[in-house]
Structure 1
């Protein structure tokens, strides 16, 4: 079955390049030029993946990303933008994006990321119990509920994915490169610190109010989930 991709891009030249390149690689592509049309199109059809600009007429890419996540939480989203600093990337990830590419970009790299996201989304399975747990921390993968010692904790989509990955590999040191590849589906850029930023976000929500800490840094190696004072 042909996989369907929605392209949300108001730059006609970029949109045309994306449509042509993706079509040549066997995808069925629908292109729209503003955020409002993107919402109605996404709600009316089933897409395997979305590629969206950030700065758009009608609604921003961040706004439509949040709405896409409410309509279909499973479809991977790649953001394309000229805004490339760490804060911009964090905003995109917090809105629910799965990957982030800065313009100008190579179509070959975009295709590699598309294939990785589609492979991952197609292979994703939920444990029979739907629940991951470690110590007094419980996460329901289906409902996205996070509870520690009976207290509900609210996480952003990327914080949740990071915690889920930690819970699936308890008491194992996870390198930044491994986390980047498996949580963000990208190679770790040593010039940015977004993984450290998200680890700190998680610590504030998961560990700050509890005597026993679960998220730990191993200097020079990475991070791990382990129960210790």
Structure 2
């Protein structure tokens, strides 16, 4: 039996029903662990869900991050360098009384699980764990806490932009937007990966499904088409990261 605390990776299935905050913004999760490799893996898996992630490496950092970030859920390691996870939990509860907390620990004794849950933790995962299990547990906690609303399985949403994968209807701020079949596929790929930079090569492979033989400028062309339809006269949602690729994210609120 392995004793490593590294998460076990498993093949990913298709994304689950999207969870969003009631205002349409991404769910927020705070990950607290002093193993940087573990927090990086967890953060990557949770960002794949479209969630916004903050991390902390100790108890004091966790409390400060919770105060500023106001997470919808917390993944909390029991053993931290400056204080015990149960102490951190108590301080978090003073800031955010209702936030669900998922404990991580290398201990698997029944009394340790009971101690964590009795102290106010909502769930408990022992290391090594699968990333899929942590994501599934968090989704359950967030849904039960009422911190997020579920969208229909067929509807993707980023900010005020929605895309129905069944009806192929697209709207921003309630205004219907007509897209060609290729524009729709490009937008769907962007919206399935909100806030994630996608390279031209990734977009060509996913949207056009074959090698364009160096004609990567077709991506730039179709991104420009989308911008005219999605962003025209509005705060931009589609952004270019020079030398890296493109991403979509909710529009910044207009200055008062």
Gaps of 5+ in 2: 1-24, 149-256
1:15 maps onto 2:42 in alignment = no
CA contact (8 A) 1:10 1:32 kept: yes
Q: Provide, for residues 24-45 of structure 1, a one-character-per-residue CA deviation record: whole Å limited to 9, x for no partner.
A: 1111000110111111111222
- The equivalences for 1:1-229 within 5 A come to 1-122=25-146
CA contact (8 A) 2:72 2:147 kept: no
Query: Shift in Å at residue 123 of structure 1?
Result: 7.3
Query: Shift in Å at residue 91 of structure 1?
Result: 1.2
CA contact (8 A) 1:39 1:67 kept: yes
Question: Within 1, Cα distance between the matches of 2:118 and 2:92?
Answer: 13
Q: Provide, for residues 77-108 of structure 1, a one-character-per-residue CA deviation record: whole Å limited to 9, x for no partner.
A: 00011011111011111221000000011111
Q: Provide, for residues 182-214 of structure 1, a one-character-per-residue CA deviation record: whole Å limited to 9, x for no partner.
A: xxxxxxxxxxxxxxxxxxxxxxxxxxxxxxxxx
Q: Return the structure number with greater helix share.
A: 1
Please say which of residues 74-83 and 39-48 is displaced more in the overlay: 39-48
CA contact (8 A) 1:63 1:95 kept: no
Query: Shift in Å at residue 6 of structure 1?
Result: 0.3
State the superposition RMSD in angstroms. Answer: 1.4
Q: Provide, for residues 108-153 of structure 1, a one-character-per-residue CA deviation record: whole Å limited to 9, x for no partner.
A: 11111111111100179xxxxxxxxxxxxxxxxxxxxxxxxxxxxx
Task: For residue 79 of structure 1, give the secondary structure of its aligned residue in structure 2.
Answer: strand
Question: Within 2, Cα distance between the matches of 1:82 and 1:35?
Answer: 17
Question: Within 2, Cα distance between the matches of 1:74 and 1:87?
Answer: 24
Select the structure of larger CA radius of gyration: 2
Gaps of 5+ in 1: 125-229
Question: Within 2, Cα distance between the matches of 1:109 and 1:6?
Answer: 17
Q: Does 1 or 2 have the higher relative contact order (CA < 8 Å, sep 6+)?
A: 2
TM-score (norm 2): 0.47
Question: Within 1, Cα distance between the matches of 2:111 and 2:97?
Answer: 23
Question: Within 2, Cα distance between the matches of 1:115 and 1:102?
Answer: 18
Task: For residue 10 of structure 1, give the secondary structure of its aligned residue in structure 2.
Answer: coil
Question: Within 1, Cα distance between the matches of 2:116 and 2:74?
Answer: 13
Task: For residue 115 of structure 1, give the secondary structure of its aligned residue in structure 2.
Answer: helix
Question: Within 1, Cα distance between the matches of 2:46 and 2:140?
Answer: 15
TM-score (norm 1): 0.52
